[in-house]
Structure 1
Amino acid sequence: MRICIVQKKNVFLNTQASLQILQENLTEALSKGARIIVFPETWLPGYPVWIDAAARAGLWREKGAMQLYRILCEQALTVNDPLWCALQQQVNESQAMLFLGIHEQLGNSLMNSMVIIAAGLERPLFHRKLTPTYTERLVWGSGDGSTLHSVETDQGRVGGLICWEHWLPALRAFYHAQHEVVHVAQWPTVHDLHQLASRHYAFEGQTFVLASGGLLSQADALAGFDSLGQKMPQARALLESMESEDSWLLRGGSAVIQPDTQYVVPPCFKEEALLFADLDLGLCKEGRMYLDVDGHYSRPDIFQIQVNQRPQTNVRADSDL
């Protein structure tokens, strides 16, 4: 199976301009035979780097942070966006699968969502990150068990998780029970700790992991903001205040990892690239001879996990009960 991780810059905070980049790279990846194409966490319209890099981002009534949140809401996509129909048709024609990280508007809240568009599906699947991490709670709401998805292909099951979801043991166990042969790990950037989590997941699940990270410099962030033509000086000032060890806020680090934790494609840092790999999925079977955490190397007589996959809502009508 041929895969492609798209490690390309977006136009930060600008969904419409970034869609052109999405289309160009998706078309190229499909033309070169990729069956699975992966973009990083919240690539549309970009990971909210200021929550970690700007000292004032978490203060009460910080106008710049409020304005940037407003922009994210205005640029976010919804389940019913017409974009999905066009992408679904393109993916269907190539018998492929697309994993795309977005900001999703759900009611009045923003969600960190992974959109899965796969040939044969009637509509895209949305996985919403279960637990926003640390400062991310300034931006995103929490998902629920109703969006835990994986997709069966003619070569095996493919699933994906977002960022620190890979540190949730029960969630990993749920996905290992789906018997993935390929797992998508979306990250804002794949630094050393995220490489560790991705390689651990590969070995624990005896699956290939496509670790996808984004690229962003401070200059990119300011240029993307300016492309919107917004007169929000406090928002721009907050972006200008961001600090990093060098000019990079997100350094990429995308990689392809095989079930024994070795790299098929080593981490790629600080450069744009389309990372292709041809996966020998038979390696999953070989590794499961000695480790199958949902089979012979498990003890369901001692440990059991119960998963609630019902949608969680604040208000239910009597007719729903």
Structure 2
Amino acid sequence: MSAFPSFVAAAVHAAPVFLDKAATTRKAVALIREAATAGAELIAFPESFIPAFPVWAAIWAPIDNHEYFVRMAQESVLVDGPEIEAIRAEARRHGVFVSIGFSERSPVSVGGLWNSNIIVGDDGRILVHHRKLVPTYYEKLVWASGDGEGLKVASTRIGSIGALICGENTNPLARYSLMAQGEQIHISTWPALWPTRRPKTGGNFNNLAANRIRAAAHSFEAKAFGIVTAGFMDKPMRDFFVSRDETVAEILDDTPRAASFFVDPTGEQISDALQNEEGIVYAKIDLNACVEPKQFHDVVGYYNRFDIFDLSVRRTRHRPATFIEDHDAFPAEQNAKSDDRGAVSASSDLREEAERLGPILAVDG
């Protein structure tokens, strides 16, 4: 008898409607519907699917990209905005779990953006809202650093689901923080291409090989299933760039493309890989297969030395300011009065503050 659930998962390998949040959201809803109709209970989308991945930051100098940053900011979405609500509603409608990457707009800054991912429950609730810890390389020109609040694993009826964005899958501590929460299904999200050099010079980053290595390594170490979901560059996206500068055609055409596929808890690929066309990859996931490999290396169990190694993770959301308001304070005219109760309270507060700061403020001599 099986102790853990089994289900069908879907990895979406698709292009956004480039820099169009409304149209891309409609496309995402249609893809959720398609995958759910095919029997998938977990549907994973690529990095920054809404509204696009900012490839321009790789191919042109910052002084030439202001217009793209402005448009990216305009087409990025709020986590409580209508685009994310549409995704949540579709997940709820079909009773499926959805992971989707998006460029998140700050509610307090018109130019503040994060590279974010959410895991939505089958009831439409947001189970995990993660902001990429560190934008990678030229991504820093578009996105701000995230925080640890989203380093969480969602405990669901189909298993424990975690996700990291692109280069975070190279961060051993970020990956371990998810393993330490009992992660059984790991979603890694990627862009369609990630150029680092002009192809004719050689040495370009091999998006395909690097992603396979990282996905296999994490699944092997965590003894978890891996869902690799990458973006796709379609003709409209390519034409968008080439129409501005035809010399970038070589970069776009000859930079390695990422692929979408599945790996099992031993790191073996268990599905076809989609790379050069849009589509959805499906795989059957049986979480009982996570058990046997734990006999060999259980890095969050017996195969570790917790008396030697110690990891602390600050899961707090970054905020630009903390506002402290005392709604119970006396009105100003009452504070001016010499009230015994107020005097006692004030002297008591000062005494406690002095005792707390004493060791800090003490100065020799």
Equivalent in the alignment of 2:222: 205
TM-score when normalising by structure 2: 0.78
Please say if 1:237 is aligned against 2:244: yes
Question: Cα gap change, 1:250/1:93 in structure 2, threshold over 3 Å: closer, same or farther?
Answer: farther
Secondary structure of 2:51's counterpart equals: coil
Equivalent in the alignment of 1:192: 209
Question: Cα gap change, 1:124/1:220 in structure 2, threshold over 3 Å: closer, same or farther?
Answer: farther
Equivalent in the alignment of 2:52: 46
Secondary structure of 1:47's counterpart equals: coil
Please say if 1:80 is aligned against 2:97: no
Equivalent in the alignment of 2:360: none
C-alpha separation in 1, matches of 2:155 and 2:293: 20
Q: CA deviation at 1:167?
A: 1.3
Q: Which runs of 5+ in 2 are unaligned?
A: 1-6, 193-206, 327-365
Secondary structure of 1:92's counterpart equals: helix
C-alpha separation in 2, matches of 1:300 and 1:29: 42
Secondary structure of 1:160's counterpart equals: strand
Equivalent in the alignment of 1:220: 236
Secondary structure of 2:50's counterpart equals: coil
Q: CA deviation at 1:267?
A: 2.6
Structure with greater strand share of residues: 1
Equivalent in the alignment of 1:25: 31
Equivalent in the alignment of 1:110: 113
Please say if 1:180 is aligned against 2:186: no
Q: CA deviation at 1:85?
A: 3.1
C-alpha separation in 2, matches of 1:16 and 1:85: 12
Secondary structure of 2:27's counterpart equals: helix
Equivalent in the alignment of 1:287: 293
Q: CA deviation at 1:119?
A: 1.9
C-alpha separation in 2, matches of 1:261 and 1:9: 27
Q: CA deviation at 1:153?
A: 1.4
Higher relative contact order (CA 8 A, sep 6+): 1
Contact 1:14–1:224 (CA<8 Å) still a contact in 2? no
C-alpha separation in 1, matches of 2:250 and 2:224: 34
Secondary structure of 2:271's counterpart equals: strand
C-alpha separation in 1, matches of 2:161 and 2:127: 14
Q: Which runs of 5+ in 1 are unaligned?
A: 226-234
Please say if 1:16 is aligned against 2:22: yes
Secondary structure of 1:282's counterpart equals: helix
| Percent of residue pairs identical | 28
Aligned AA (2:230): G
Count of equivalent residues: 303
Structure with greater helix share of residues: 2
* RMSD of equivalent CA atoms: 2.2
Q: CA deviation at 1:241?
A: 4.3
C-alpha separation in 1, matches of 2:258 and 2:170: 20
TM-score when normalising by structure 1: 0.88
Bigger radius of gyration: 2
Equivalent in the alignment of 1:127: 130
Secondary structure of 1:179's counterpart equals: coil
Paired residues for 1:95-106 under 5 Å:
95-106=95-106
